Amino acid sequence: MPACPGFGTPMQLPEYYKQVSAIVAVLKPFSTLRNIALHLNKEGIQTPSGKSWNRQTVANFVRSSGYTNTK
């Protein structure tokens, strides 16, 4: 079993956050959080903790330091 990251440390590699940030940045201007979550799940991308996305987890990601607006 892999070791858990320390409190406050990223749970994924930086490339993961870049990929998810890019998807969110493209969809966010014209889509709902729920639709963004559906898209991420359809693409097989899990949350940083390894779960399915929902509108709240997308909102949390956008508010977190893991999200960088790539525009």
Q: Where are the alpha helices (DSSP H) in 1-71?
A: 14-27, 33-42, 55-63
Residue 4 lies in a domain: no
pTM above threshold 0.85: no
Range of the domain at 49: 14-63
Task: Please check whether residue 16 is in contact with residue 30, taking contact to mean a CB–CB distance below 8 angstroms.
Answer: no
Residue 7 lies in a domain: no
Question: Whole-angstrom Cα distance, residue 51 to residue 47?
Answer: 5
Convert the pLDDT of each residue in 23-48 to its tens digit: 999 999 999 999 999 999 999 999 98
Residue 6 lies in a domain: no
Residue 40 lies in a domain: yes
Counting the structural domains of the chain, the total is 1
Helix 14-27, helix 55-63: angle, nearest 10: 110
Greater pLDDT, 5 or 44: 44
Model pLDDT, residue 69: 67
Residue 9 lies in a domain: no
Residue 28 lies in a domain: yes
